[in-house]
Structure 1
Amino acid sequence: MLQPRKKLSKRDIKEDPLVTAYGNAQRWFQNHSKVINIAVIAVIAISVLSVLMARSKRQAELRAEGQLGIVEQYYHFGQYDHAINELTRIINTFSGTRAAGKAAFFAANAYFELHDYDNAERYFRLYADDYGQIDFFTSSSLAGIAACLEHRADDAGAADFYEKAARKFPKLYLAPYQLKNAARCYTKIGQLHKAKALYELIHDKYQDTPVARETEILMGLVS
């Protein structure tokens, strides 16, 4: 036989754990509703701001790339002074974009062609230190710094940067040529053991390259 269902008293309802928890939660939300609303608004604002910033960066990148494409024509036709003016404008206007990094690399090469090795080194360093998204450009920038130092008769510094460029990007086809340049600079300052070690590295690791065949003769000169 079914037992009659017990009627819950107000005290029983009040002592029910679920009811108590719900009541506590409700009171907590009422007491902190202002803080919660501010937090929610802040999260939404940050999300919207992030989307807007990402969109703005994409638009800046597209504008910079478009302008860079035009300026590159001046560079390739040897109009280096005009190219430098436009390239530095892109660097300053669109700082932090991939296109600004490319502009820094081209500006460095343009200055180098004009034999302005101080500014060439400055922009090679700008690319290597602040951008460096493209391995080929980074490797070439490090070697560019080395070439600028070599033109100023800092053969020790040049050797260091040529070697750094090769060791940082050993799989690039530039690597054995950069090692050869480093070895040449070490030879000029009398560090023949370092030069020989690099020639041996070229001979062993890059034996299928044209540079490797030259090292057999060069090793004899530093032994």
Structure 2
Amino acid sequence: MATYKKRGYKPKTKKEKEEVVEENSTTAEVFNTLDEGASKTEEWVVKNQKYIIGVIGAIALVVLCYLGYNKIVAEPKAKDAMNEMYTAKKYFDDAVSGVSSDSLYNMALNGGEGKYGMLDIINEYGGSPAANLANYYAGMSYLNLKDYQNAVTYLSDFSSDDKMLGPIAKGGIGDAFVQLEQNEDALEYYIKAFNANVNDFTTPLYLMKAARVAIDLGQNEKALGYLKRIKSEFSTSTEATQADVLIGKVEASL
């Protein structure tokens, strides 16, 4: 057991002297070990300095190449892609307005007047923000053209934290699955859609769609929860006026 010794204490007995000698010897051994370890480390560094410098140089080169690629290649390419998208986006917007919509959706997909369509942008500028956004427009175009499998494919390749586009893309996948008669998948994506962002437009919209699909699947308690949420949190929404009738039907079936 260790004992406290006052400063300036001098060992008196033989046993105490032996303890002091042993303690000093142990301390010296520790410092010698540390010195030896430091010397070995220094020797290793000296011996392998060329290798170390090479590794550091390689890392620096990779970082510089990455930064250079972004500045010289990636950024201009991304800008070109967004410029190329302008005409295809206009076709899509005109199609949404309902003027010759099918032909315009096809032009949005495949291009026209010598300009790229969304599919060209996806193929030519893969990995760019423009290509990601083109997946959204391509998916929604296919959805409106009733090509539901392609709608699912392209909307699934789109990712965004945007408060509207994110939920609408997931809801679009849900709509496509409904048409493909895959209601369980549709419900999964409607749930993702109303959870993606809480707002007064997309949340009640996809809560209602989820409720209707849940009813079709016989999941009435789940449907009732969605409908009551619409009534309590989104009472001024269009969907709230429809919820009362459905709540009555669902409660009667429980």
Give the alignment's TM-score, normalised by structure 2: 0.70
Whole-Å separation in 1 of the counterparts to 2:165 and 2:85: 16
Alignment of structure 1 residues 12-23 onto 2, 5 Å: none
The one-letter amino acid paired with 1:108 is: G
Q: Is the 8 A contact 2:207 2:230 kept in 1?
A: yes
Gaps of 5+ in 1: 1-23
Q: Judging changes above 3 Å, is the alpha-carbon distance between structure 1 residues 36 and 155 closer, same or farther for their aligned structure 2 residues? A: closer
Extract structure 1 runs of 4+ deviating beyond 6 A: 24-30
Q: Which residue of 2 aligns with 1:132?
A: 160
Partner residue of 2:215 out of 170, 177, 187:
187
Cα 1:26–1:120 change in 2 (3 A) is closer
How many residues were matched structurally?
Answer: 198
Q: Matches of 2:247 and 2:149 in 1, distance apart?
A: 33
Alpha-carbon distance in 2 for matches of 1:68, 1:95: 13
For the 8 Å contact 2:81–2:130, the answer to whether it is kept is yes
Give the conservation status (yes or no) of the 8 Å contact 1:98–1:133. no
Distance 1:118 1:26, change over 3 A: closer
Partner of 1:99: 130
Give the number of the structure whose alpha-carbon radius of gyration is greater. 2
Q: Which residue of the partner structure matches residue 71 of structure 1?
A: 88
Match of 2:192 among 157, 160, 164: 164
Equivalent position amino acid for 1:88 in 2: L
Higher helix proportion, which one?
Answer: 1
CA contact (8 A) 2:200 2:234 kept: no
Q: Distance in 2 between matches of 1:169 and 1:33?
A: 54
The CA distance in 1 between the partners of 2:42 and 2:177, in whole Å, is 72
Q: 1:192 and 1:32, CA in 2 relative to 1: closer, same or farther beyond 3 A?
A: closer
* Structure 2, unaligned runs of 5 or more: 1-39, 96-103, 111-116
Write out aligned runs for 1:35-74 (5 A): 35-55=51-71, 56-74=73-91
Q: Kindly provide the CA deviation profile for residues 155-212 of structure 1, in whole angstroms up to 9, marking residues without a partner as x.
A: 2322221122102322362011100011111122322222111101111122232322
C-alpha change, 1:47 and 1:191, in structure 2 (3 Å) is closer
**1:47–1:222 distance in 2 versus 1, CA, 3 Å:** same
If the length of structure 1 is used for normalisation, what is the TM-score? 0.79
Q: Is 1:84 the equivalent of 2:109?
A: yes
Counterpart residue type for residue 79 of structure 2? L
The one-letter amino acid of 1:49's match is C
Aligned CA distance change for structure 1 residues 216 and 45 (closer, same or farther; 3 Å): same
